[in-house]
Amino acid sequence: MKKQSQIAHHKLLQRQLNKYSEGDNISPENFLHLIEAVNDSYIAFEKDKELSDHAFTISQQEFADINSQLKDEVELRKLSIQKLKSILGHFIADNKEPLTDHDDLLEIVDLLNEEIKRRKEVERQLLLAKEEAEKASLAKSEFLSVISHEIRTPLNAIIGMGHLLSKNNPRADQVDNLQTLRTSAENLLVLINDILDFNKIEAGKLDLEEAVFNIKKLVKDIVIANTNAADERENRISLHMDEKVPDHLMGDALRFGQVLNNLISNAVKFTQNGFISVKVDLMELNLKSAVLRFSVQDTGVGIAKENLQRIFLPFMQESTSITRQYGGTGLGLAITGRILGLFNSEIKVASELGKGSKFYFTLELKSLGPDEKIPDENDITDFDLNNKQILLVEDTLFNVLYATQLLEGWNAKVDVADNGAIAVEMVKDGDYNLVLMDLQMPVMDGHTAANKIREFNTEIPIIALTASASSDVRQKVIESGMQDYVTKPFNPDDLFIKLKKYLT
C-alpha cells in the first residue's frame, strides 16, 4: 500500500490510521481492518442519526402537547381568577374599588389579607360586645335580686298584717276591706314572681327539685284557692280526679302547682258567669312512674285561631284590649310552657272564639320507691309551739311586729336581734330552740352569722327568712349552715309547717 498523503484527517480517523499503519505503509491485512473499522463507524453513525432524528421528532410532539396544555392551564387560571374576584366582590362588603385586573393574584392576596384583618376586628368587637352583654346580664340579675328584696320586704308586712287583722274578729264591714287588701297584695306578688321566674328561665337558672308530695291534695288546694275569684265572677268550678291516681308521687310540687294555678286562674279570669272544669286522668301507672293527663276547660271568651300561638310568647296577650280589660303581664302562659318544657312536657290548647278554651298537658312523675318515706301532711291544727324559745333576727321594724305577733299567737317566746352580730352573741348566752334568720342586714348578714354560730353550736335549727328570689338561695342557705328557708312574703301556714318540722 502506498504511503499516506499528507492530509489533515479527522482525529478519530487519524487515530485509526495510526493504529493500523506500519510506518508510512499499511499492509493489506491492516487495511482490511481499517476498512472494517470505518464501516463500523458508518453503521454506528447511521444508528445514532436515526435515534437522534426519532428523539427530535418525539421532543417536538411532546413540546407541542405541553405547550397546548400550558395554554389551557393559563386560560383556566385566568377564568378562575375572574370568578374568584367576582365572588369576592359580592361577599366583601367594604370592597369599594372594582377588581378589574383578572390576572393579578397578588391583588386577591392583598384583598384577602385586608378582609382577614377586618374580620378579626369584627371578632374582637363581638367579643367585647359579648363581655358587655354578660356584664349587663349580671347587673340585671343583681338588680332584680335587690328589687325583689326591696319589694317583697314591705309586701311581707302588708300580707302579714292583713292576715293578723283577719284573725282578730274584724267587723263585718272590715272583712271585705281585708279581703280586698289580701287579694291585691297577692296579685302584686304574682306579678313580681312572674317577672322573676321568667328571668330565671331565660338565664337557664330554673332547676326542678324532686321530692315526695301529695298530688291529690295539691290539686284540690289549688282549686279551692281559686274558688273565691271564681265566685266573684259568678263562675262555677269543678274538679274531677281519677280515683286510680296515686296519692303521692315524686316531683317539683312548687313548679307543678305554678303551672296548674296559672291555667286555672286564667280560666277564671277570662270567664264570666260560666263554668270551669279541672280534670286529672291516669293514663299509665307502673313501678317507676305515673303518666297523668291534666286539663282545664272553661266557657269563657275563647281565643281566635290565628292567635293560638301568640298567647305563649313572652309579654304577649291575644290583643291589647285583653291587657286593658283583664290585666296581667302576659307572662303566665309563657312561663307555663317553659316549666312544662323542663318536665319534658308540652302545653296544648283547643279554643273557639266566644265559646271557651281548653288547655291540657301530659306529665310523667316518678312513683315512690319501696323505701321512700311519705312526709306528714302538715296539719297545722294539732301543734302548739308551747313556750319554745325562738330568736328572731330581723332589722325591719314592721316585719319584726308581724313575725312576733304571729309567733306569740302560736304560744312561742320570742327575742329579737337587730343584726347578725347581735344574734351570734345572744345564741352564745341564751338557750334557744330555733333561730329565724333574715339574710340581708346591716353590720353582719345572715349567712355570716349562721357560719359563726356553727363554730360553737351545731345543733340549733336555723331557718332563713329571705326576700331574695335568686335561683341559688337554697344552696347558699345550706352552705351557710342553715337547715331551711322561708321566702318572704310567706304564708303563715308555711312558716308554721317549717317550725313544726324542726321543733318536734
The whole-number average pLDDT for the span 98-106 is 56
The whole-number average pLDDT for the span 251-274 is 90
With a cut of 60, say whether residue 98 has pLDDT above it: no
How would residue 312 be classed by pLDDT, with cut points 50, 70 and 90?
A: confident
CA distance linking residue 188 with residue 152, whole number of Å: 10
Beta strands in 14-68 (DSSP E): 21-22, 25-26
With a cut of 80, say whether residue 17 has pLDDT above it: no
Q: Which amino acid is at 237?
A: I
User: What is the per-residue pLDDT for 482?
Assistant: 94
How would residue 324 be classed by pLDDT, with cut points 50, 70 and 90?
A: very low
With a cut of 80, say whether residue 270 has pLDDT above it: yes
User: Quick one: which of 99, 103, 343 has its CA closest to 208?
Assistant: 343
CA distance linking residue 157 with residue 89, whole number of Å: 68
Which cell numbers in the block locate residue 450?
349562721
Return the half-sphere exposure (C-beta side, CA atoms, 13 A cut-off) of residue 22.
Answer: 7
Q: Are 328 and 258 in contact (CB under 8 A)?
A: no
Check residues 142 and 4 and name the one with the higher pLDDT. 142
How would residue 494 be classed by pLDDT, with cut points 50, 70 and 90?
A: confident
User: What is the per-residue pLDDT for 228?
Assistant: 84
User: What is the per-residue pLDDT for 157?
Assistant: 79
3-state secondary structure 453-471: HHHHCCCCCEEEEECCCCC
Q: Which amino acid is at 375?
A: P
φ/ψ of 460, rounded to 5, equals -65, 130
User: What is the per-residue pLDDT for 104?
Assistant: 61
CA distance linking residue 32 with residue 40, whole number of Å: 12
The whole-number average pLDDT for the span 231-246 is 92
Peptide bond into 489 cis (omega under 30): yes
Percent of the chain with pLDDT strictly greater than 90: 26
Least confident of 169-178, 264-273, 395-404: 169-178
φ/ψ of 328, rounded to 5, equals 100, 160
Least confident of 215-219, 347-351, 496-500: 496-500
Select the highest-mean-pLDDT range: 171-180, 307-316, 413-422: 413-422
Chain-centre distance for alpha carbon 504:
41
Could you read off the pLDDT of 418-476 as tens digits, one per residue? 999 999 999 999 899 999 999 888 899 999 999 999 999 999 999 998 876 566 777 88
The whole-number average pLDDT for the span 393-409 is 88
CA distance linking residue 269 with residue 271, whole number of Å: 6
User: Quick one: which of 272, 321, 271 has its CA closest to 296?
Assistant: 271
List the domain boundaries for the chain: 106-198, 208-366, 380-503
The listed CATH number (3.10.20.70, 3.40.50.1970, 3.40.1390.20, 3.40.50.2300) that belongs to domain 380-503: 3.40.50.2300
Least confident of 78-92, 209-223, 337-351: 78-92
Residue with cell 293560638: 308
Could you read off the pLDDT of 184-227 as tens digits, one per residue? 777 777 777 777 777 777 767 777 888 888 999 999 988 988 88
Which cell numbers in the block locate residue 442?
346591716
Which cell numbers in the block locate residue 246?
296515686
CA distance linking residue 413 with residue 411, whole number of Å: 7
With a cut of 70, say whether residue 257 has pLDDT above it: yes
CA distance linking residue 19 with residue 30, whole number of Å: 9
Q: Which amino acid is at 316?
A: M
**Which fold, 106-198?**
Helix Hairpins (1.10.287)
338-347 long-range Cβ contacts below 8 angstroms, 24+ apart: 338/198, 338/201, 338/206, 339/201, 339/206, 339/255, 339/258, 339/259, 340/259, 342/206, 342/207, 342/208, 342/255, 343/208, 343/251, 343/255, 343/256, 347/312
How would residue 323 be classed by pLDDT, with cut points 50, 70 and 90?
A: very low
User: What is the per-residue pLDDT for 123?
Assistant: 87
User: What is the per-residue pLDDT for 8?
Assistant: 67
CA distance linking residue 188 with residue 176, whole number of Å: 18
Q: Are 155 and 182 in contact (CB under 8 A)?
A: no
Question: Partners of 366 in the beta sheet?
Answer: 250, 289
Q: Using DSSP, state whether 412 is helix, strand or coil.
A: coil
Is 208-366 assigned to CATH 3.30.565.10?
yes
With a cut of 60, say whether residue 33 has pLDDT above it: yes
Least confident of 139-148, 229-238, 401-410: 139-148
Question: Partners of 392 in the beta sheet?
Answer: 416, 436
Mean of per-residue pLDDT scores for the chain: 80
Check residues 216 and 311 and name the one with the higher pLDDT. 216
CA angle, residues 199, 203, 206, in degrees to nearest 5: 80
With a cut of 80, say whether residue 75 has pLDDT above it: no
With a cut of 80, say whether residue 124 has pLDDT above it: yes
Chain-centre distance for alpha carbon 325:
34
DSSP 8-state code for residue 330: S
Check residues 143 and 254 and name the one with the higher pLDDT. 254
Domains 106-198 and 208-366 share a fold: no
With a cut of 60, say whether residue 235 has pLDDT above it: yes
What contacts 387, CB < 8 A, 6 or more positions away? 411, 412, 413
Percent of the chain with pLDDT strictly greater than 70: 80
φ/ψ of 101, rounded to 5, equals -80, 105
What contacts 332, CB < 8 A, 6 or more positions away? 194, 262, 265, 266
pTM as predicted: 0.61
* C-alpha to C-alpha distances, 292 to 121, 123, 134, 170, 280, nearest whole angstrom: 54, 49, 40, 43, 7
CA angle, residues 108, 113, 119, in degrees to nearest 5: 120
